[in-house]
Amino acid sequence: MLIPSQSNPTRSFPSSLLKLTLGVGLALSLLASAWAAPQSDQKALQVYFVDVEGGQATLFVTPAHQSLLIDTGWPGYDGRDADRIVAAAKHAGISKIDYVLITHFHMDHGGGVPQLTARIPVGTFIDHGVNRESTDAATSEVWDAYQKVLAAGKFKHIVAKPGDRLPIRGMKATVISSDGELISQPLAGAGQDNASCKDAEQYPADKTENMRSLGTLITFGKLRLLDLGDLTHDQEMKLMCPVNKLGKIDIYIVSHHGSSQSGSPALVHGIAPRVAIMDNGAKKGGNPPSWDVISKSPNLEDFWQLHYSEEGGVAHNVATEFIANPDGPDAGNYLELTVRPDGTFAVFNSRTQKTKEYPAG
């Protein structure tokens, strides 16, 4: 059941109501009201992977409708990315975003702040502190625009440190990395030797905002999700070697859009995710070396991509059903993850209108 390609991505959201029925099986769907969500999903955490063309914008909405947006996508494009985020928020039934976390001040992450705040109320901004890449004009521009928004005095502001627990209710969000610092001790239950450190490469120290990314580990029920923003190889090694400070992860939000500067075997094979979801663009991220590491990860069941990667070609892209935006004109399709307290979860592709269910691990 394909939805037509369109220039206004907001129109793709209402049609996705179909997923509520497809998720409980075809027979039921023919009888049940399309407006009634399956019982279990009313207690689920919904996570929207908004297509911002190779930037990040990931919206978490708890069962009590508390919300956390990780990054705001790009500026410009007539507010395209902010419009797509607002469409996801509406779809989730929220009219305000409680927390907006900016992982770092690169344009594909913090650039959309002014457009977003012009379109939807925001409660609190969370970041790693000051911009440390003031030599880069584009990053400084993002930083200045963000400071202007904060200076208006309408928003609360939190500077997060590793080990902090973010105040969002209904899910546990623990800060792993911030401003170049990392958690110093393993998380509860973690700290095992990491076999993937053995033949690890030596990586150069990153000097950009990437290595300062504000990374979080989110726990909901039995499931653990990891988002490290664009954290680079050098920082991953400190986090994962010689011992794995994170433990195993169920759902890995692929670092740095699948750029080859991030996503080392020590990280990816150490956390050994069941599912990886990559927020790449057609021409950004999705680099073959990073893709190869993920696709060879020991416990991986599925790898989802927001876009077909042109650089990856046939050899380094997943099957089309796992891609929200295949090769061709952009339709702004999104992926939606449903995480339930019993440890089951599901991924919905707004393009195919199909949901894949995952049993508890």
Q: Which residue number, 142 or 240, has a Cβ lying nearer to Zn ion?
A: 142
What is the size of the binding site for Zn ion (CB under 5 A)?
2
Instruction: Between 257 and 269, name the residue whose CB sits nearer to Zn ion.
Output: 257
DSSP 206: P
**Shortest Cβ 326–Zn ion spacing (Å):** 22
Minimum CB separation of residue 13 from Zn ion in Å reads 24
Interface positions, 142-201, toward Zn ion (CB under 5 A): none
Question: What is 43-93 written as a DSSP string?
Answer: GPEEEEE---SSS--EEEE-TT--EEEE----S-GGGHHHHHHHHHHHHTT
| Residue length of the chain | 361
Report the candidate in 121, 179, 124 with the shortest Cα–Cα distance to residue 155: 124
Write down the least CB distance from residue 259 to Zn ion, Å: 7
- Least distance in Å: CB of 232 to Zn ion? 11
108 is a contact residue toward Zn ion (CB under 5 A): yes
133 lies in the binding site for Zn ion (CB under 5 A): no
Q: Give the torsion through C-alpha atoms of 303, 306, 310, 311, to 10 deg.
A: -50
Sorted by sequence, the CB contacts under 8 Å of residue 337 that are 6+ apart come out as: 46, 47, 48, 49, 251, 277, 345, 346, 347, 348
CB of 322 to Zn ion, least distance (A): 21
* Near Zn ion in 228-287, by CB under 5 A: 230
Cβ nearer to Zn ion, comparing 98 with 108: 108
Nearer to Zn ion, 79 or 111 (CB): 111
Which pair of structure tokens corresponds to residue 159? 């500077």
Choose one: 27-35, 74-82, 104-112, 302-310; the region binding Zn ion (CB under 5 A): 104-112
Of 210-239, binders to Zn ion (CB under 5 A) are: 230
41 vs 230 by CB, closer to Zn ion = 230
Q: How far apart are CA 179 and CA 128, in angstroms?
A: 5
What's the CA gap between 248 and 194, in Å, rounded?
11
Cβ at position 71, least distance to Zn ion in Å:
8
Assess 206 for contact with Zn ion (CB under 5 A). no
Q: Is the dihedral of CA 181, 187, 193, 195 positive or negative?
A: negative
Cβ atoms of 258 and 291 closer than 8 Å: yes
Choose one: 58-66, 69-77, 105-113, 120-128; the region binding Zn ion (CB under 5 A). 105-113
